[in-house]
Amino acid sequence: MMARSERDVIDFSALERELQGAIESEQKYKRENEAKLRAISQRGCSYTEFRDLVLSCHLKPLEKKDKDGSPRRQPWNPVAPSNR
């Protein structure tokens, strides 16, 4: 029988990390590509508007529960002293 070398051993955790990275990269590519296509379909859009649309494509719109009456989890300006 032949002895197994370290090259023959599969590191499944590293393989899963690599797979997750590839999936996230593919999702980012698709999201940005769809944003580019939407931005191009808007005629008269300047480059800065186009760029802003693509850079903000990962953001999700707020839901009503996020805006109305719910307490803030983070202050608007965490650097400013609180007025209590």
Assigned domain for 45 exists = yes
Cα distance between residue 62 and residue 72, in whole Å: 13
Range of the domain at 41: 15-59
Per-residue pLDDT tens over the stretch 3-57: 566 677 889 999 999 999 999 999 999 999 999 998 888 877 788 988 998 999 8
Per-residue pLDDT tens over the stretch 74-83: 666 666 666 5
Assigned domain for 48 exists = yes
* pLDDT given at position 69: 65
Q: Is the pLDDT of residue 1 over 60?
A: no
Tokens of 14: 């590293």
* pLDDT given at position 58: 87
Assigned domain for 25 exists = yes
Model-wide pTM > 0.75:
no
Assigned domain for 79 exists = no
Contact predicate 13/23, CB 8 Å = no
**Number of independent structural domains in the chain:** 1
Assigned domain for 8 exists = no
* pLDDT given at position 7: 73
Assigned domain for 31 exists = yes
Assigned domain for 54 exists = yes
Assigned domain for 6 exists = no
Buried b (16+ CB within 10 A) or exposed e, 34-56: ebeeebeeeeeeeeeebeebbee
